[in-house]
Structure 1
Amino acid sequence: MIRVLVVDDDFMVARIHRGFVERVEGFEVVGVAATGTEAISLVAELAPDLVLLDLYLPDRFGLDVVGRLRAAGETCDVLVITAAKEADAVRRAVREGVVGYLLKPFGFPELEQRLRAYAAERERVAADGELTQEQIDAAFGTSGVTRRATVTLPKGLSVETAAAVQDALAAAGGGEPDGALSASECAERVGISRVSARRYLEHFVATGAAEVSLRYGTTGRPERRYRPRV
């Protein structure tokens, strides 16, 4: 079982997230914290494998909690779940090595997709002995549908925003009825303009990380819908 600590200062939200986690096979919630200080204490006490961490905590910013955990030698993984869309927060989360960044509000399918992907990555690198390049790439999130566009990005595109857009694509694949999202929907989830979102999405289509389809309405141009390539 993958042991999870839920950190959120809103007890109703924490209860919902706990219920979501416990619906996913192979995961169990071992504790809930409402403050950064409590989270640090419970990590030391309970040794969770994964922390679902809100950023807006009453006593400190969530990413400061990550820094304190790393300074204390804690090796638990962190999945950020937050309403913080600021680019600086996303960039810092990437630097802190979090395994994902999920924007509130979200439903069960979005969190389930992230948790299952996390479990798959843990299993992939759990075996003893040497790893292949493919397994190493997967551990760093650089292969398959989770490929991070950390190299050869067109001018004007950032690594951090590209990662956030790919997270939005992955969430759509597990949560949207058609498994896809439009540039406008992506822009809202990531917190960027629709034009910027479309540039990233079209880049992923060009590199083979995503595919596009057309949704026809009664009037006007068809809507371009993007989904991760499988």
Structure 2
Amino acid sequence: MRVLVVDDDFMVAKVHSGYVARIPGCEVVGVAHRGAEALDLAARLRPDLVLLDVYLPDMSGIDVLGKLRTGAPDDPSVLVITAADDSATVAAALHGGALHYLVKPFDSRALQEQVERAVRIRGRLASLDRAGQADIDRLFGDDRPGGGTGTAARLPKGLTAPTAELVERVLRAADGDLSASECAERTELSRVSARRYLEHFVDTGAVTVRLRYGGTGRPERRYSWARR
């Protein structure tokens, strides 16, 4: 796995490069501190994975993500690594094609898990001629053998781990509880999709729900993250 590290802070870029260098089978092929520099290096070095900060001095990392993820088969995977924890940026990264999103600070193990996940996904894609539904479910969901143990593990059919993690982040960051409509607005999902993820989390015990009565019709369901 050839990795390009992009961060405006020279010391942080050095630390992240050190994390990657300790992962078997991975090498840092370049380091960039500006968006334009990242795009130039990506075009010349053709990395497999880009560790991308959002706060860059010349352009947003989200804009860099959009230029890296063109839809071509040889586009690099992109792991967003940033201090930005607002739901709008998380949603933009998700819809822009980011493989995952890590909020600073984090430990080396969290980064290693996501880099290893990128390795597995890239290897699985390279080995597939045609993809069966089970292959697709593993690629779009939790790709670890036997499923995972995290919040997004054992998702029902039709739900994906990246979107589940987005909904989780929005709920965790909320000041109080949210309705399905409010969650949909913050995640840029449809209300129906947001409601499916919320109800899944209720079923697993990760989310609590209360009913708010008022006016006519059925009471409104309000969701809050239980594991704070």
TM over 0.5: yes
Once residues 131 and 152 of structure 1 are traced to their aligned partners in structure 2, the CA distance between those partners, rounded to angstroms, is 16
**Per the alignment, do residues 122 and 70 of structure 1 end up closer, same or farther by CA in structure 2, a change over 3 Å counting?**
closer
Once residues 130 and 71 of structure 1 are traced to their aligned partners in structure 2, the CA distance between those partners, rounded to angstroms, is 22
Deviation digits for residues 135-184 of structure 1 (CA, Å, limit 9, x no counterpart): 1112222673356969888xxxxx97732366x7xxxxxxxxxxxxxxxx
Once residues 156 and 54 of structure 2 are traced to their aligned partners in structure 1, the CA distance between those partners, rounded to angstroms, is 25
Deviation digits for residues 54-93 of structure 1 (CA, Å, limit 9, x no counterpart): 0000011101112223459671111000011111111111
Q: Calculate the TM-score normalised by the size of structure 2.
A: 0.68
**Per the alignment, do residues 164 and 6 of structure 1 end up closer, same or farther by CA in structure 2, a change over 3 Å counting?**
same
Where does 1:177-196 land on structure 2 (aligned, <5 Å)?
187=172, 191-193=173-175
Q: Which residue of the partner structure matches residue 162 of structure 1?
A: 164
CA contact (8 A) 1:8 1:57 kept: yes
Deviation digits for residues 181-223 of structure 1 (CA, Å, limit 9, x no counterpart): xxxxx93xxx334756xx9788437259x8xxxxxxxxxxxxx
Q: Which residue of the partner structure matches residue 42 of structure 1?
A: 41
Deviation digits for residues 21-60 of structure 1 (CA, Å, limit 9, x no counterpart): 1111111100000000100000011000110000000011
Q: Which residue of the partner structure matches residue 176 of structure 1?
A: none
CA contact (8 A) 2:13 2:31 kept: yes
AA partner of residue 165 (structure 2):
A
CA contact (8 A) 1:101 1:164 kept: no
Aligned residue-pair number: 185
In our comparison, the structure showing a higher alpha carbon Rg is: 2
AA partner of residue 164 (structure 1):
L
Once residues 101 and 142 of structure 1 are traced to their aligned partners in structure 2, the CA distance between those partners, rounded to angstroms, is 15
Q: CA deviation at 1:8?
A: 0.2
Once residues 106 and 31 of structure 1 are traced to their aligned partners in structure 2, the CA distance between those partners, rounded to angstroms, is 22
Q: Which residue of the partner structure matches residue 20 of structure 1?
A: 19
Where does 1:1-230 land on structure 2 (aligned, <5 Å)?
2-70=1-69, 75-141=75-141, 144-145=147-148, 146=152, 162-164=164-166, 187=172, 191-193=173-175, 203-204=200-201, 206=203
Q: CA deviation at 1:116?
A: 1.4
Once residues 38 and 138 of structure 1 are traced to their aligned partners in structure 2, the CA distance between those partners, rounded to angstroms, is 34
Once residues 90 and 53 of structure 2 are traced to their aligned partners in structure 1, the CA distance between those partners, rounded to angstroms, is 13
AA partner of residue 60 (structure 2):
F
**Per the alignment, do residues 22 and 201 of structure 1 end up closer, same or farther by CA in structure 2, a change over 3 Å counting?**
farther
**Per the alignment, do residues 205 and 114 of structure 1 end up closer, same or farther by CA in structure 2, a change over 3 Å counting?**
farther
Once residues 151 and 132 of structure 1 are traced to their aligned partners in structure 2, the CA distance between those partners, rounded to angstroms, is 14
AA partner of residue 5 (structure 2):
V
**Per the alignment, do residues 91 and 120 of structure 1 end up closer, same or farther by CA in structure 2, a change over 3 Å counting?**
same
Partner SS, residue 129 of structure 1: coil
AA partner of residue 114 (structure 1):
Q
